[in-house]
Amino acid sequence: MSSQSNTADLLVLGAGIAGLTAAARAAAAGARVVIAEKGPAVGGSAQYAGYVWTAESYERLREINPDGDPDLAHVVADNIEEGLDWIRSLDVEVGPKVVVLGYGRGCQTNLVGYITACLGAIRDGGGTVLTSAPAIRLLTDPDAPGVHGAVVSIDGHEREIHARSTLLATGGFAGDPELRGEHIHPLARDLPLRANPYSTGDGLRLGLAAGAAFAGENAGFYGHLVPSHTGYGDPSLFVSQTFYHSEHGILLNLRGERFCDETIGDHLNTLAVLEQPEARALLICDERVHRQWMLTPYVEGAEAPDKFRLAYNRGARAAIAEEIDELEALPPEWGYDGAAALDTLKRFNEQTPAGATQPGRRLDSTPLIDPPYYLIELIPAITNTWGGLRIDAQARVLDNTGAPIPGLLAAGADAGGLYQRAYGGGIAAGLTFGMRAVETALGVDAPA
C-alpha cells in the first residue's frame, strides 16, 4: 500500500457488487478511492451470479415486498436501468430482458466481466485496491462527530486510512453462524452457505459499534432449498444442487404435514423449512413436475440438468416411488411419518381441484397424480442476509434516533430494511445502492 492511499475521498470496505460499483464510479468521477477486501480476491458472491434483475416495476416490488422500506424500494426499481446502462458502458455483455421468478425482469450479465471491468476503472482512475485486508475498526474522533475512515489489517499490520466517506459493503453476515442464530433463527446457525465465505458480519459489527441502528429483525434471508446429506462447499454446485422447483411439489415436515403455500417460491419455502422441526422437509413431486419443471430451465436461457438424478447420484436422501401407496414405506431412518405423508398427499390430490387445500395454493393448483413419485429431503441454504444496518434512500447509515451518522454509508447486504421476508434481486440492490452511495459521498451524480 502506498502512502498516497492513506487518505481518500471514498473508502470502500468490501469488494462485492456494491463495493466495486461504488469504487469504480467514484474513480471514474475523479475521486480518490481506496477499496479494501477481506478475502484474497475481489468479487464476493457476485462472481457466482448470472442475472441482474428486480421486480418489473416499483408497484410490483411493493406488492411482493409490502413490509420493506418503500423509499429503499424506489432506489432499486427506479435505478436498475441506469445500472444496466453503466454495466454496458464498461463493454460488459448484457443480454436481453427475460422473466425471473414470474414477477421479475432482468438480464443475463457477464458479472465476472463486470468485476474485471470495475477493477480496471478503479486502477485507471488512480484508485487503490487492497485484498486480504479486513477492516479492524472505524476511525472516530470525539471532537468531530461521525466516521473518518477505518483501520485495516495489511500483512498483519494495522494501517489507518482517513476518508471523507466510508462505505460498508462487506456482504452481510451469511457466513457467520452466531449472527445467523441471533438475527435469523436458532437453527440458522447450521445452514450451509451458498455464497462466498468472507461475508461474516464485519460491516454490521463496525456499524453497530459506531452507533448505527439495526433494521430487519425477522426479515429472513435469501437462499434456496438443497438436498441434505450431499455436502455443499463447492461454488460450482450452487445452481446444480438448488431445487428451485419445490414450488410445484409439496413439502412435508417430520409429521408428514404440509406447512406452507409452496407455490409462492422456493426462496420463501426456504424460510418456511427453517422454522420446521430440525429445519428439514420432504419434497414430493410426480412425473409431470419432473418432466415439466425439473427438466426445464428455471430462468430462460439457463441450463437444466436433471437435478433429482444429480442429487440421487451424490448420495442425497432420495427415492422414487412407482405407486402412490409406496409412500407409506418411507425408510425409518429418514424420520418421517410415512402413513401421514401418504394421507397428506391423497387428501391434497382430492382437495386441489376444488381449491380446498390447507395451506392453500396460490399459483399451481394441479394435483400430483402422475406416477412415479420423486421424493427428496431438502434443507435451507443461505446466500445473503436481509437484516442489516438501517439506511436511508441516500445510503446513509442511521443511528437509533433516525439521524445519519456523518461520513458513514452502507450498501448491498450490509444494509437492512429493503427486503422483509420477500425478495427482489440482490445484485440489483448492490448495484443501485452502490451507485447511490457514490452520489451521496461526492455530492454529485457520478458519470454513467
Tell me the per-residue pLDDT of 266-283, one tens digit each, with 9 for 90 and over: 999 999 999 999 999 999
- Tell whether the model's pLDDT for residue 6 goes beyond 80: yes
pLDDT score for 447: 46
Average pLDDT, the chain: 93
- Tell whether the model's pLDDT for residue 77 goes beyond 60: yes
- Tell whether the model's pLDDT for residue 330 goes beyond 50: yes
SS3 115: helix
**Phi, psi (degrees; rounded to nearest 5) at 99:** -85, 135
Single-letter code of the amino acid located at 233: G
Exposed, middle or buried: residue 305 (CB in 10 Å: 0-12, 13-18, 19+)?
Answer: exposed
Q: Do domains 3-217+386-442 and 222-382 have the same CATH topology?
A: no
Distances (CA, A) of 223 to 24, 155, 156, 285: 28, 34, 34, 21
- Tell whether the model's pLDDT for residue 303 goes beyond 80: no
pLDDT score for 89: 97
The cell numbers describing 67, all together, are 413490509
Q: What is the C-alpha separation between 31 and 273, in angstroms, rounded?
A: 46
Architecture of domain 222-382: Alpha-Beta Complex (3.90)
- Tell whether the model's pLDDT for residue 446 goes beyond 80: no
- Tell whether the model's pLDDT for residue 299 goes beyond 70: no
What average pLDDT does range 143-164 have in this prediction? Answer: 95
- Tell whether the model's pLDDT for residue 433 goes beyond 60: yes
SS3 12: strand
What average pLDDT does range 234-257 have in this prediction? Answer: 85
pLDDT score for 238: 67
| pLDDT band (50, 70, 90) for residue 354 | confident
pLDDT in tens, 95-130: 999 988 888 999 999 999 999 999 999 999 999 999
Pairing of strands 128-130, 33-36: parallel
Count of beta carbons in the 10 Å neighbourhood of residue 399: 15
Nearest one of 53, 384, 37, 42 to 195, comparing CA atoms: 384
Q: Are 213 and 390 in contact (CB under 8 A)?
A: yes
What average pLDDT does range 162-168 have in this prediction? Answer: 97
pTM of the model: 0.93
pLDDT score for 235: 67
Q: What is the C-alpha separation between 78 and 42, in angstroms, rounded?
A: 27
- Tell whether the model's pLDDT for residue 355 goes beyond 70: yes
Q: Are 242 and 443 in contact (CB under 8 A)?
A: no
What residue segments make up the domains of the chain, in order of their start?
3-217+386-442, 222-382
Q: What is the C-alpha separation between 391 and 403, in angstroms, rounded?
A: 10
- Tell whether the model's pLDDT for residue 178 goes beyond 80: yes
Q: Are 422 and 65 in contact (CB under 8 A)?
A: yes
SS3 264: helix
pLDDT score for 445: 58
Q: What is the C-alpha separation between 11 and 69, in angstroms, rounded?
A: 26
> For the CA atoms of the chain, what is the radius of gyration?
23
- Tell whether the model's pLDDT for residue 295 goes beyond 90: no
Q: Does domain 3-217+386-442 have CATH number 1.25.40.10?
A: no
